Chain A
């Protein structure tokens, strides 16, 4: 595939390039919608398309007014702070419970392992609208509907599968003789965990945490039902904005969120490589 042999026939050459063009188009389809909103968010007009000034690269066609609106509009600011308050708390809950459970699950003898795994992964499988409906019904019964903790608990539950999957994946490559060595040298289980196991699985824990964070930070269906106006998050505000009065500020917010995802993606990639390197270093 990578190189065309010198004896390739005309049809083979044609197909070779046609195939690359097709792939190019698909890549374009994947990435263009995300890229295109970035220049549009600097539009000086309240339009959702490129104005002639923008196409002429006239500086007057561009402005930061939509960003200015985002940072001054109380609705957007409130939404941003709500997101910042909810996501880290939900992440903290899912990471602490999730890591503990992942360590338990990676032991050689776990009773009902498959059933437990199915339960823990289920929040990722069940469609969000069904989780949202169930949580809305149940949380109204116990008085959590419309409260900060209701949203945090719901988001923590949604983030748990991601933590479980990433941390158990890291633990698969974990060399058990290291903990045995620590124990034989007199370390108690807590010290072994803190000094030996944790530093080695940390990349997995952090990337699981980032997944959980992004799950909560991007989540809109559940918060729409479980939250009340007081817990309006950034995605919720965007959702209302898109449904009712679509304003170009949404594009500015979208650009900011794309930047955040790029940073998170880069972090996870770096962590993954580091984790692979660490695993490569361990004997066996």
Chain B
């Protein structure tokens, strides 16, 4: 007599449950092992790039990385008090600019800030040329005349180590300076100290009490510094361009100082982040809402045209004998298989004013030779060409749904007295709706992301949001905005795709036949 709860054992004595569980685990591991190389491949070559794009749409490290001291100093500035920031900000900005110019990163920062406030790109470019010729050279002359030791980079090196606590600015500027000189391929122990170092030293010395140093070199310098005419960096920058005294410029910099910004997303919907909060962009710059609207509208028109043209064809194919249907199916599959550029080129050729369609219309006297139709480089061109290109994507899902509708349904309806129209409308059509849904979502998803065809036949008024993304990547180089527009488009597609999955299921995606 065995107890009820004693486990069933396999031949080798292990409990059956454990043995089965182990087998299942092994099977799962094996399946996963087979899938993992590809999964890794797709994650690296495809998912990582998409993640990078999502990251770039909010990333804004450039302000912080290029002018870190200024960003720090601006934190203590209260723009509400009116007037431009204090001297400490200009001092920090001078130091940052000198190094930024050396690294050639100030123009990039200028273009970045120019997206938010027009004119900053040229302001930064202009200041970059002048910032090396500031009057701070007076400090350098004064200190070097006082003691030759100041010309020796080793003096600075030693001071940065021993007096780092009492000369905080000098030590910090010196550290950056060493790094910049080294990146340029120079030796920080051979390079003649730059004016920016003397300016930092002057500022440090003026903070310290007279004779407060142990080092006689510094005490002498402190005494000399007290007798020097201070160079106002605010005036120096003001002399380059009055805009540097405009608080609005500094407010813009302050607003975009964060490492992450919603700015690109706001720009994507015609808003902008200003110091006073989120506002509409200027009337003339509001193009993205219009462009998103146009993309949706044209995709909708294309989807509807595809339904209107595709439904009768799919109906015919589904109701013809298989042999005839297969032959006619070639007429659907051939365009599906033909290169996209081939189809686009043929539309470009056909739709031209001197092209085949206009020639035929003129020959048939439908239109006058002088008033040939403009069918290309506008919305008409995009809609015609894209309807042609996407039509097979409507016909194929429609066909596969219609194939499954039993012909006996319509026959039953008719035998009960329905007219042809009622039988179709009340019985056949509702059964084919899933096909319309699947085809429409598919066509719509493909249409809103299309780039090539609108670019080639759309002119300026027939382009989509994707063309704008391409423009920002390759021409305007505003990658952040391109990434933000792309992210919005991506989420729109993913939502649609989720709908598609609800209707058809991922696994039911069919290709061609």
Contact = CB atoms under 8 A, between A and B. Distances in A.
B49 A160 contact: no
A134 B53 contact: yes
Interface string A137-166: 111010000000000011011001010111
B50 A261 contact: no
B305 to A, nearest CB: 10
Nearest to A256: B342
A119 B339 contact: no
B31 interface: yes
B31 A109 contact: yes
Interface in B28-61: 28, 30-35, 37-39, 41-43, 45-53, 56
Contact of B32 (A37, A98, A104): A104
B32 A110 contact: yes
B407 to A, nearest CB: 9
B369 interface: no
Contacts of B309: 26, 29
Given A104-B35, A125-B445, A211-B511, A22 B346 contact: no
A141 B44 CA distance: 13
A1 interface: yes
A258 B338 CA distance: 6
Given A103-B34, A110-B28, A127 B420 contact: no
Contacts of B48: 138
A246 to B, nearest CB: 7
Contact of B345 (A132, A141, A242): A242
Contacts of A123: 42, 46
Contacts of B451: 127-129, 221
Interface string A62-103: 000000000000000000000000000000010001101101
A107 interface: yes
Contacts of A138: 48-49, 52-53
A130 interface: yes
A135 interface: yes
A265 interface: yes
B303 interface: no
B355 A30 contact: no
B281 interface: no
A184 interface: no
Nearest to B43: A119
Given A117-B507, A133-B483, A104 B33 contact: yes
A261 B41 contact: no
Contacts of B45: 135, 153-154, 156-157
Interface string B304-331: 0000011011011001110000001011
Interface string B113-150: 00000000000000000000000000000000000000
A257 B345 CA distance: 12
Contact of B509 (A27, A153, A165, A250): A165
Contacts of A104: 30-35
Contacts of A121: 506, 509
A109 B52 CA distance: 33
A242 B46 contact: no
A116 B345 contact: no
B497 interface: yes
B238 interface: no
Given A121-B509, A129-B451, A37 B46 contact: no
Contacts of B354: 47-49
Interface string B338-376: 111111111111101011100100000000000000000
Contacts of A117: 506-507
A268 B333 CA distance: 11
Contact of A136 (B34, B349, B449, B473): B473
Interface residues of B, number: 93
B313 A26 contact: yes
A77 B494 CA distance: 39
A40 B113 CA distance: 51
B39 A33 contact: no
A217 B337 CA distance: 12
Given A101-B34, A235-B341, A31 B356 contact: no
Contacts of A265: 330, 333-334, 337, 512
A116 B35 contact: yes
Given A108-B27, A138-B48, A261 B469 contact: no
Contact of B455 (A49, A122, A243): A243
Contacts of A214: 337
Nearest to B464: A129
A79 to B, nearest CB: 12
A218 interface: yes
A17 interface: no
B349 to A, nearest CB: 4
Central interface residue in A154, A211, A221, A251, by most chain B CB within 10 Å: A221
A103 B316 CA distance: 37
Contacts of A177: none
A48 B452 contact: no
B484 to A, nearest CB: 11
A97 B31 contact: no
Nearest to A23: B316
A36 interface: yes
Given A33-B350, A49-B359, A110-B32, A131 B343 contact: no
B346 A37 contact: yes
B181 interface: no
B92 interface: no
Interface string B450-488: 111001100000000010011001100001001100100
13 contacts: A26-B312, A30-B332, A30-B392, A40-B356, A48-B352, A101-B38, A104-B35, A114-B506, A121-B506, A127-B449, A235-B340, A246-B348, A269-B513
Interface of B: 24, 27-28, 30-35, 37-39, 41-43, 45-53, 56, 309-310, 312-313, 315-316, 319-321, 328, 330-335, 337-350, 352, 354-356, 359, 388, 391-392, 420, 445-446, 448-452, 455-456, 466, 469-470, 473-474, 479, 482-483, 486, 489-490, 493-494, 497, 506-507, 509, 511-513
Interface of A: 1-2, 12, 15, 19-20, 22-23, 26-27, 29-31, 33-34, 36-37, 40, 47-50, 93, 97-98, 100-101, 103-105, 107-111, 114, 116-139, 141, 153-154, 156-157, 160, 162, 164-166, 168, 211, 214, 217-218, 220-221, 225, 235, 238-239, 242-243, 246, 250-251, 254, 257-258, 261-262, 264-265, 268-269, 272
Q: Give me the 8 closest cross-chain CB pairs, A-B, nearest first.
A: A127-B449, A104-B34, A134-B49, A1-B319, A101-B38, A138-B49, A107-B31, A104-B35
Given A130-B486, A220-B452, 13 more contacts: A30-B331, A30-B335, A48-B349, A103-B34, A121-B506, A122-B46, A128-B449, A130-B469, A130-B490, A133-B469, A133-B483, A225-B473, A254-B346
